[in-house]
Amino acid sequence: MEIDQCLLETLPLGQRQRLVKRMRCEQIKAYYERERAFQKQEGFLKKLKHGKNQKVHFNLADMIQDAIIHHDDKEALLLLKEGADPHTPVSSGGSLLHLCARYDNAFIAEILIDRGVNVNHQDEDFWTPMHIACACDNPDIVLLLVLAGANVLLQDVNGNTPLDYAVEGTESSSILLTYLDENGVDLTSLHQMKLQRPMSMLTDVKHFLSCGGNVNEKNDEGVTLLHMACASGYKEVVSLLLENGGDLNIVDNQYWTPLHLAAKYGQTNLVKLLLMHQANPNLLNCNEEKASDVAASEFIEEMLLKAEIAWEEKMKEPLSVPTLAQEEPYEEIIQDLPVLSSKLSPLVLPIAKQDSLLEKDIMFKDSTKGLCKRQSQDSTPENATVNGPTKPEQVKLMPPAPNDDLATLSELNDGSLLYEIQKRFGNNQIYTFIGDILLLVNPFKELPIYSTMVSQLYLSSMGQPCSSLPPHIFSCAERAFHQLFQEQRPQCFILSGERGSGKSEASKQIMRHLTCRSSTSRSIFDSKFKHAMCILEAFGHAKTTLNDLSSCFIKYFELQFCERKKHLTGARIYTYMLEKSRLVSQPLGQSNFHIFYLLMDGLSPEEKYRLHLNNLCAHRPLEMSSCSSQMP
């Protein structure tokens, strides 16, 4: 598929982007066809060699899901024709329509709707395809679902409608607001409707208790009223059940406690409430997981980990009477929780987003009112002591701009690209997107955009870039983290550029952001990584005219994550192409590898004399470099 460049530039921005995306998909498809033809040829040769033809048969359900994800529309239509079930369930209880909404495949979504797939189908978290389309900001899917009669008022397990997940000002949000306005639904009535469910359950529970009902009664699945209220985030209902003797540690048929459900669905306030009432955080479900293992956010996970430690200490003295001192760990956790700002609209911001903003509020607090939840270990000296008020971390992020993605420019040529890059560089905007590629211009100075606080701002529940944040290396790292588990295949960063362009530092920032998601092992990993890099850089770095710590070899970093807990489990570093010629010859104004100078600096005068190393320039590996060069 070839399009004339002049014709392409005359198209509207949205249509041009969709057309370019379709062209890319067709290019990938052509590459896939060539690979498949090559594999068939290899299979034929193997058959001639071994005399056997071993075939691998894939399930139609798996094949159609793969076709939807990769926008292979022809393959998807062929599979439907061959008998693939359009009502095939996917992981987490969703439908193929959920998958189309996630990967913006409007063509197959329309086919599935024509074949009778339920547009209001809800997965295990009660998310409909409309919820996913709004969360991923895929307006074509949103419009298609609206025209197909999707119910835009359905609520998920947290009581949020699709509008709660649509970012304000986006096309998806505009479509929903227009549809609601045309149907006479205003935001006030929508807010009242959201409050209707918890109030209705509160009324029903009061009536049930007044009639003498058992507060711990279970249904066929072992679920109690406390399980339901904790999963849904109904704090008043939970408080009422606890006041009337609700069992904190009661388990369902899968051994899930109310604390497990509150942690899984991100109900921060309810986790706090249950811990305050002495819920046991060490109980295991059928998968041998504690509540901290299924926590929806790192903030809840840390709260539960503290509670586990406090509970274990308490269990060491089983005969002692609980005192105020024994409850201090729970009180400390509770005091860390901020109060929701009155400026936050509960309609626009769902519970998960509110919790995320509250965690960010903690990080911005001055240390006199409460230290930051996580301080950057890289910027804090090991021997630092806190004797008085300290300044909060400095953050300077430029607001997002229309030219954040140069692929959206109306005129694409060398002149326009260089002009935009130079203009952004003058504003300290060193990161720029060009489609899926992130361009970095080395500023050769320190910028306050790499702190732990900034890394936390780029955390995302879905892996989608936040429209309110500028391009950043953390955004790419976050997207790769989510695609690792969503696509179930390795993700790779390729950092390319000339010497001194900042590749080594960029790779460190990528790993730093990824390790931020592994709070339990981060400190251990950081320590081991720094020690390993210190040795590698000593043997592989040298002073050049551009950089005192220039890399003279290629590094390949491999991070390994646990699929179930999504925690960092290990790492490897491979080295390639060491610049060995530097050992015997160095360009003018450059030095040999730093290891030689470090060895000289570490030796005492007596050792230097005994080893005949008094004169640095007298030795052949170092005589051609400038003897006046010093280690940075």
* Binding-site annotation, residues: 497-504
CA distances from residue 126 to 123, 129, 132 in whole angstroms, order as listed: 5, 10, 11
The strand pairing partners of 590, in sequence order, are none
What residues form the annotated binding site for ATP? 497-504
- The position carrying tokens 């690979």 is 35
With a CB cutoff of 8 Å and minimum separation 6, the contacts of 162 are 128, 130, 131, 133, 134, 142, 152, 154, 176
556 SS3 class: strand
CA–CA separation, 21 and 394 (whole Å): 39
CA–CA separation, 249 and 277 (whole Å): 11
The bridge status of strand 437-440 relative to strand 431-434 is antiparallel
Count the Cβ atoms, other than its own, within 10 Å of residue 201.
Answer: 18
Q: Which long-range contacts (CB under 8 A, 24 or more apart) does 25-29 make?
A: 25/70, 25/71, 25/72, 26/1, 28/70, 29/70, 29/72
User: Where does residue 236 fall: left (phi above 0), alpha (psi -120 to 50 degrees), or beta otherwise?
Assistant: alpha
Q: Which long-range contacts (CB under 8 A, 24 or more apart) does 30-36 make?
A: 32/70, 32/72
CA–CA separation, 513 and 64 (whole Å): 34
CA–CA separation, 342 and 194 (whole Å): 18
**Cα atoms found within 13 Å of the Cα of residue 227, Cβ hemisphere only:** 17
User: Where does residue 185 fall: left (phi above 0), alpha (psi -120 to 50 degrees), or beta otherwise?
Assistant: beta
Structure tokens at 488: 């179930």
CA 196 to chain centre: 33
CA–CA separation, 485 and 491 (whole Å): 10
CA–CA separation, 331 and 323 (whole Å): 13
